[in-house]
Each structure stands twice: as structure tokens, then as C-alpha cells.
Structure 1
């Protein structure tokens, strides 16, 4: 049984039709335009504009982010994302659909000019996120998938990028193995804390059940399909298809236009 009181029941919180602009002027990092946690929030039809760091950040489960415009963000920071979520195998079920990301790139002097910012940033083995139908224009790096599992990046568009459409890595197999190695890795402890082999997590996310028996530090189950890109400096994705397949993930039918 799950810990007493633990559910995945939607809270039905809604953040809708707002203009959130010119924020983070005093505390310039981690002062988000929108932050959501818990379960089952809807964030849609918002215009989030002109801030040096993140636009939207999230934790929790089963949130939907749709039809938002995120513009001129992350201009004064490094290693950041206009949308950011990270470091969880249990915070699953996020859907990002039909959002527009415009002008997401570094514009101020920063400590490390080689470090990119991204439109959608799935950091540190974040898993179980779906991104479909999002459009990105003038974005440094459109997606970053940092070693996570079971992420679906399908039917998105990336135009004018100075890096990749998708930067995809296997950090759990390398420098970040401590997070995903049983029995004491932080990501493993998260699973155990929610009793992941039992409802509600096992029924909501069937693939979570095999996490510890299916190469836990390998970025398995990711799908990159039916995306289009144009004028992207380094091409579609940072790994070749053979490497992606060796990690039991898939990439197909992605088209340069």
C-alpha cells in the first residue's frame, strides 16, 4: 500500500489568461513567472515575457501546460530553461502542448558562454514528460533531455537554433550515476517513498514499476518522432540513431525543412 494519504487526485488548479511580464528584477534567478506543484494543474493561455531566468517551473504530477507564449526569457543566466522540471522519476504525467517559445537565448555577459539555455529543459534524469505540438523560434537549444526515461517529444517545431533541436544525454551512466544507483540514490529513494510498485503510481504509470529492474541509469523509453526543424546549427539531436537505440530509446521520422 502507498503511504497513508498519498493519492494522485487532480487538484484542478488553473492558471489562465494572464500576462506575466518584466519580473525577477530584484532576485534574478529562480523567481519564476509560474510555478506549480501537487497534482493536476492546468496552465494555459498565458503570456510570460521578459525575464532573465525561467518562465515556468514545475514539480508534482499530471499537469498540463498548453497554448502559452514564453518570450524573451533566460537572457541573463546559463544552464536554464524557459520551462524547467528536473531530478525525478516519480513526477510524471506532465504534458506540454502547443506552446510557443520565442527568443530564448543568452543576451547578457555570463560566466560561461559555452553553456546553453533551452526552451524545454528536462533536467537530471527527469522522466515521464510528453511534449507535443510546441513551436520554438530563436531558441538557443530547443529541448534538453538530461538522461531521463519515458519522455515523449513528438510533433514539435524548432526554427533558428544555435545548438541542437534536442540535446539528449546519458548522464546517469556517467557523471550522475550516484542519483540512480540502488539502494541509496536520490531517485531510487523517491520511488521507494511512494511505494512505486503499488497503486496509485503503478496503475497511473505502468512503466514506473520496472524502473529498478530495467537498467535504472540508462535513459530508456524515450521517443523522438515526427518533429521538424530548420536552421538548427548542430542538427536534430546530439546522439546518432545507433546510440539512441542502444539506450532502448527511439528516434524516427524527424525532418529538416
Structure 2
């Protein structure tokens, strides 16, 4: 992987990530999971591209009940077999991302209702990790109020995952999984050019009069020119 993280309130931004996870199966370029207390994390304005489609490779991987991430303004261009994987978690928010040329854009499952139910049994790994941070008391309860109610409803059901204002360009299936596990709105799926300056090089951005600004309400001007770095300097 490129980035494995643990903890809270990290910001991963302006990264250019390519050609990672090329010799593994079931892995992510940016990866974390199996601890719903790890909330407040942001992944924004990154360019994920040319990730292997041969294996189960993901660009942003929320594994085994990961919750509460904000993911926005990223470009997923040929970004693996499953560019996004939400593995049974809650309240992950995807907005204003660009998905290009992939058979699938977003995978979501309800693993906690099936093979992963051992993780949410009383005293098991999820319970242990929540108890470790005293999730019902400050600072966790004030910083992440939804976390304090983690067990109040059916924890096995992947709820509160929002997909809004995203572009899906030349995508076979937007969702791999059941769409009722997601809140989908204000997205645009198209096979026609949404207004790229150069569709082969998404970092060149959109034309000023690009159709995307008309078809997706509130789609922002993304900082394409700031993504990545110049290693020659």
C-alpha cells in the first residue's frame, strides 16, 4: 500500500498515487479499518491512477467496519478493480470525486451480517477498541456524536454512507453491492466527455464551460494544479 493509517483527524491530501499494490490481493493504496473509533479522517484532492485491475485492489479502502471518513475532490482513474471499498462501516461521505474508466466505482457490503459478525459480538475486537477510547465520554463523544450511539441500532447494517455530487465517467457499474446500503444523490454517470481539457490527462482539469458544472449541482473548481509534486525540484 501507499498509506496505512490509524487514529483520528488525519488529513491525506494532494497526493499522486500510482502503481502500488501490484503484486497482492485484497489491498488498498490508502488503507485502514476494523476500528470504528478511528473517525474524523479526511482524504481529499488526491489522484489515484493506474492501479492493478488483476487483483482485488482498491484506492481508498475502509475495511471491516471503518466509519466516519470524509472523502472529496479526488480523481480515481483506472484505480484498481474496486476503486472504493466500504466494508460494512457507517457514515462515510463521498462527495465531488471523479471516477474514470473502471468496471466498478464503489463496492459496499454488509459483512457484519455474514462472515464478519464475529467482530461485533460482545467483547470482540470492535467492542474492545471502542471501550479502549471510552467512546461514550469526551473527547470522543463530543467530537464524534454518532459514535456514542454505535450500538443503539443494528450495527451489522451499513448505514449513513453518503455518495453525493460525484462524476462517474466511463464506469461499468457505479455500485457493486446493494444500492440501498448507500444514500446516492446529485451524481452523474455518463459515457460522454463531461468537459475535460484532456480526457487522457485528468490533472489538466475541466474547461470553464464544462458540462459537469451544469449536471452536478454545486460541483466545485478543484485544485488540479496543486495535486502531486515535481520531483525535479
TM-score bin (small chain): 0.7 to 0.9
Q: 2:141 aligns to what?
A: 202
Deviation at 1:71, TM superposition (A): 1.1
Deviation at 1:195, TM superposition (A): 1.3
Q: 1:6 aligns to what?
A: none
Q: CA RMSD in A?
A: 1.3
CA–CA distance in structure 1, aligned partners of residues 15 and 107 of structure 2: 23
CA–CA distance in structure 2, aligned partners of residues 239 and 254 of structure 1: 17
* SS at 2:130 equivalent: helix
Q: 2:109 aligns to what?
A: 169
Describe how 1:131-170 pairs up with structure 2 within 5 A.
131-140=71-80, 141-162=82-103, 164-170=104-110
Q: 2:174 aligns to what?
A: 236
| Structure 2 residue corresponding to 1:253, chosen from 171, 176, 186 | 186
Deviation at 1:190, TM superposition (A): 1.0
TM-score of the superposed pair, with normalisation by structure 2 = 0.78
1:222 aligns with 2:222: no
| Structure 2 residue corresponding to 1:89, chosen from 31, 36, 53 | 36
* SS at 1:189 equivalent: helix
Q: 1:184 aligns to what?
A: 123
1:99 aligns with 2:39: no
CA–CA distance in structure 1, aligned partners of residues 64 and 89 of structure 2: 7
* SS at 1:137 equivalent: strand
CA–CA distance in structure 2, aligned partners of residues 253 and 143 of structure 1: 18
Structure 1 stretches of 5 or more lacking a match?
A: 1-53, 107-112
CA–CA distance in structure 1, aligned partners of residues 33 and 178 of structure 2: 24
Deviation at 1:240, TM superposition (A): 4.2
* SS at 2:128 equivalent: helix
Deviation at 1:239, TM superposition (A): 3.2
Describe how 1:74-85 pairs up with structure 2 within 5 A.
74-85=21-32
Q: Which runs of 4+ in 1 moved over 6 A?
A: none
Q: How many residues align?
A: 189
* SS at 1:178 equivalent: helix
Q: 1:212 aligns to what?
A: 151
Q: 2:56 aligns to what?
A: 116
CA–CA distance in structure 2, aligned partners of residues 153 and 255 of structure 1: 13
TM-score of the superposed pair, with normalisation by structure 1 = 0.71
Q: Is the 8 A contact 2:83 2:106 kept in 1?
A: yes
